[in-house]
Amino acid sequence: MATVSLLEAFNEFQDIKGVDKETLMELLGDIFKDILEKKYGDASNFYFAINPETGDIELWRNRIIVPDGQLEDYNTQIELKDALKIEPDFMIGEEVTEPYGIENFTRREIQTILQMIKQHISEFENQVTFEKYNDQIGELVIGEVHQVLKNEIIVIDEDDIELILTKDQMIPGDHYKKGDTIRATVYKIENRGGTPYIYLSRTSNDFLARLMEQEVPEISDGLITIRKIARIPGVRAKVAVESYDDRIDPVGACVGVKGSRIYPVIQELRNENIDIINFSNNPKVFIQRALAPAKISDIQIEDNKAMVVVKPDQISYAIGKNGQNIELASRITGYDIEVYRELVEGEEEDIDIQEFSDVIDQWIIDQLKAIGCDTAKKILSYSVKDLADLADFEEETVEEIQKIIKVEFE
């Protein structure tokens, strides 16, 4: 039984991808040399060869022919009478080369060889896996969900290598079951005790970039470059693109006719809203494009801070729902953007309640609008109790709202 296991281990070793014959021979040689040295004290007269017809690895031993009755070392010498059984014209002093089969090893030796081969198999598979994925950081991979755990998903690639997608690298709304096909990018690889752990990501900027490369031929061909990306995974993203060919509209090419190119990307990202904008080396122009759809009246830049002035009716567009637009614009441009209202001469200053969407929940804003309180001064004109009764809020909620608004005016 041990002999069968040893042969299977040989075959398994030969099937490892990325292991050449020379390396294989060297490793197996080291394994058998160690066993044979322990068995005979010397293994210099053993060597390996590959059968050219079968491709099998064979072990051979050389021994010198000595006169009958003068055998001193069975491992390195053979008596003439035994040599003549192999070849009838052998003579004393000649060297006999004969195969050294598995049957010459004891059961314990075979078990030791088997363990050593399996250890080397594991080490080489880990090395091949590490080298394969270490060169693929940020690249797209497709796998099958093998196991769904509480905080992570185990994915199997085409070579049956295990990949890990942790919960924090999933897009909100990602739900998978065993057997599902999944797409992600290689996020990082860790080597623990010689075992590689490959982690995937669906929330990284690389994932969005690779998906766009698949859908937009001009990107994969190098005619359009993705310069910068900012994402709130599963919610919204901004992608700055640039074309090296004046005849190509990079935004239009990325969006496609009626959104045909960007729509598959949006679907894969769980309906993540993607804004494609033209990149510019001019900071003011880039900031203006990044804050779209808001219309900018003026921009002043000081160090890494950008002070943007917009008309009152553009504030909500500049900030965006829950502050998403200004956050992504800041991240993609690299500037800390602050939005200021443009004061109209002769008009008393007031603030649209929507401008507070980054600090006041949207459902509260909607309820205030429903009762006609759509500006800051309108809200402050009510007493805490009256506004609480009118909007069906807790008085503590009204106090907090009015406090936020007063701070803004101050």
pLDDT digits 0-9 by tens, 142-187: 999 999 999 999 999 988 899 999 999 999 989 999 999 999 999 9
The Cα–Cα gap between 161 and 127 comes to 12
The Cα–Cα gap between 155 and 198 comes to 10
DSSP string, 87-128: -TT--TT-EEEEE--GGGS-HHHHHHHHHHHHHHHHHHHHHH
What's residue 131's pLDDT?
84
Q: What percent of the chain has pLDDT over 70?
A: 90
Q: Which residues contact 408 (CB under 8 A, 6 or more apart)?
A: 351, 356, 376
In terms of Cα–Cα distance, which of 245, 246, 279, 249 is closest to 261?
Answer: 249
Q: Is the pLDDT of residue 2 over 50?
A: no
In a domain, 98, yes or no: yes
Out of 5-9, 24-28, 149-153, least confident range: 5-9
User: What kind and span of H or E run contains 284?
Assistant: helix 283-290
My answer on whether 111 and 10 are in the same domain is yes
What's residue 348's pLDDT?
56
Highest mean pLDDT among 15-19, 24-28, 357-361, 405-409: 357-361
My answer on whether 6 and 126 are in the same domain is yes
My answer on whether 57 and 160 are in the same domain is no
In a domain, 7, yes or no: yes
Q: Is the pLDDT of residue 3 over 50?
A: no
Better pLDDT: 28 or 160: 160
Q: Is the pLDDT of residue 82 over 60?
A: yes
Would you place residue 13 in the very low, low, confident or very high pLDDT band (cuts 50, 70, 90)? low
In a domain, 212, yes or no: no
Q: Is the pLDDT of residue 42 over 90?
A: no
Would you place residue 118 in the very low, low, confident or very high pLDDT band (cuts 50, 70, 90)? confident
My answer on whether 343 and 357 are in the same domain is no
In a domain, 255, yes or no: no
Q: Is the pLDDT of residue 14 over 60?
A: no
Last residue of a domain, one of 161, 177, 203: 203
Which CATH number goes with the domain that contains 49?
Answer: 3.30.1480
Better pLDDT: 114 or 280: 280
Better pLDDT: 125 or 41: 41
Q: Tell me what percent of the chain is helix, strand and coil, each rounded to the nearest 5.
A: 45, 25, 30
Averaged confidence pLDDT in the chain: 87
Range of the domain at 43: 2-130
Which CATH number goes with the domain that contains 378?
Answer: 1.10.150
My answer on whether 371 and 396 are in the same domain is yes
Would you place residue 283 in the very low, low, confident or very high pLDDT band (cuts 50, 70, 90)? very high
Q: Is the pLDDT of residue 96 over 70?
A: yes
Token pair, residue 54, equals 């079968």
Would you place residue 4 in the very low, low, confident or very high pLDDT band (cuts 50, 70, 90)? very low
The Cα–Cα gap between 239 and 324 comes to 14
In terms of Cα–Cα distance, which of 258, 268, 266 is closest to 239?
Answer: 266
My answer on whether 299 and 383 are in the same domain is no
* Number of domains within the chain: 4
Largest CA distance in the chain: 125
Four-residue CA torsion sign, 261, 266, 267, 269? positive
What's residue 15's pLDDT?
59
My answer on whether 56 and 164 are in the same domain is no
The Cα–Cα gap between 142 and 147 comes to 15
In a domain, 392, yes or no: yes
Packed helices 2-14 and 107-134: angle between N→C axes, nearest 10 degrees: 20
The Cα–Cα gap between 96 and 398 comes to 101
Out of 25-34, 280-289, 310-319, least confident range: 25-34
Last residue of a domain, one of 295, 319, 348: 348
Rounded average pLDDT over 311-330: 88
CB 341 within 8 A of CB 245: no
CB 152 within 8 A of CB 187: no
What's residue 373's pLDDT?
83
Residue 275: alpha-carbon gap to chain centroid: 23
In a domain, 218, yes or no: no
Query: How many CB atoms sit inside 10 A of residue 155's CB?
Result: 25
Rounded average pLDDT over 29-56: 80
Last residue of a domain, one of 325, 348, 371: 348
What's residue 191's pLDDT?
87
The Cα–Cα gap between 398 and 389 comes to 10
What's residue 55's pLDDT?
59
What's residue 27's pLDDT?
75
In a domain, 213, yes or no: no
Rounded average pLDDT over 219-241: 96
Whether the link from the prior residue into 233 is cis, omega within 30° of 0, is no
Out of 31-40, 229-238, 260-269, least confident range: 31-40
Which CATH number goes with the domain that contains 151?
Answer: 2.40.50.140
CB 374 within 8 A of CB 345: no
